[in-house]
Chains A and B, each alone.
Chain A
Amino acid sequence: MKNTWSLRNIILLTLISIICGIIFFATGFLYNAVSLALTPYGLAPLANDLLLGLWIMAAPLAGFIFKRPGAPFLAEVIGAIVEMFLGGQWGVETVVTGIEQGIATELGFVATKYKHFDWLGLIATTISTTVITFIYDWFKNGYNAYAIHLLIIMFIVRFISIFIFGGVLSKLIANMLEKSHVIK
């Protein structure tokens, strides 16, 4: 792959975001179901942390596939814009979240200077994404009002979710692509 963004790679990047978006359209229903199930215990926001890894997956996946600066951010932002036009319920807010999550994942790769697209990079993006999205939710979703034990549970659940879906799952997919020699 060349160093600049070619038309083909831009289309591919968008398609990857869309694929993640379509597969996770099901998680929208899953989210509502989990959220409803947790409501009587007052734990509904936990659904967000539990499934967050699925929503941010496009970014690390694009990072592992393209291995170049900007790919995670672009994948997440383009994915958010496409989702907005598909008629997602969150509208413009999707784009704000997309920008925030894109930056979060990008920072993980920046920390490894775009040299580690292995387990180290995976852990770096997991940490950066967990911390930054948690700070954003601290303000936006009112996490600052919750009891401390709930916050700790939410943080750990979020970390595990991002590690499993955003990290391990996207790394497995990238490994399969590498084994079949379609990416380097």
Chain B
Amino acid sequence: MNPVLKLLMMLVIALEISFTTSVRLNLVIFIVSLIYLIFFASFKRIIYLLFVTLIPAIGIYFAQKINGNYQYGILLVTRLYAFVTLGGTYTCRTSIEDLAGSLEQNFRVPSKFAYGVMGAFNLIETIKQEIIDIKLAAKMRNVHLSYVSPTLYFKSILAAMNWSTLLAQGMNSHLFVEGSSRTHFKKITIKTTDYLILIVVLIAIQIILIF
């Protein structure tokens, strides 16, 4: 399915279960998403999603039981699991390149946004290392930088300013011109079946909600 339409579909579903109180719909979404995950995601990922969510799930359940409404606790726990498994289905088969490519080719998002975000995304490992380096350098001077120290952010943002200039220059020197039309090696299209899936899924959800 087209990455943007898929994201749109999931955003609508997520919004809808945020504002409705149907345990049945949550369970249906949870089970369908879980089956999808079993087919397409790694075993480790599924276990991670199910177990890490237990902590907020138990927390919310007891909070409602002690300070709120017991029935509501069950609804919130099923909603939590519906969110987590639904979210997991998106990233297990779609990459950020697909999403950016589709936004640029099918939805006229300026190419500088698509490629700029993608370029920055590929710097993540460098940033992680930089933050470790900044903390280590501070430790050598007996200064502890925690995540609430402005200095830590200040230094990382300075580094980021440097990288963003370098990366933009690098992209320009590889003939990336802002605003000019581009050719594509990987063409992303929207098929009629994509629209059909979108409509059918959304209608199915309304039907489960109403009946």
Residues of A within 8 A of B (CB): 5-12, 14-16, 18-20, 22-24, 26-27, 32, 35-36, 38-45, 47, 54, 61, 65, 78, 81-82, 84-87, 89-96, 136, 139-142, 145-147, 150, 165, 169, 172-173, 176-177, 180, 182
Contact = CB atoms under 8 A, between A and B. Distances in A.
Contacts of B63: 39, 42-45, 146
Interface of B: 7, 10-11, 14-15, 18-19, 45, 48-49, 52-53, 55-56, 58-60, 62-69, 72-73, 75-76, 79, 83-84, 86-91, 95-96, 99, 112-113, 115-117, 119-121, 123-124, 127-128, 131, 147-148, 150-154, 156-158, 160-161, 163-165, 167-168, 171-172, 176, 178
Nearest to A11: B164
Contact of A42 (B19, B67, B151, B157): B67
B161 A182 contact: yes
Contacts of A84: 87, 90-91
Contacts, number: 207
Contacts of A182: 158, 161
A73 B54 CA distance: 31
A54 B8 CA distance: 27
Contacts of A86: 124
B14 A96 contact: yes
A182 B157 CA distance: 10
B59 A10 contact: no
A41 B66 contact: yes
B131 A92 contact: no
A145 B117 CA distance: 40
B148 A165 contact: yes
Contacts of B68: 142, 145-147, 150
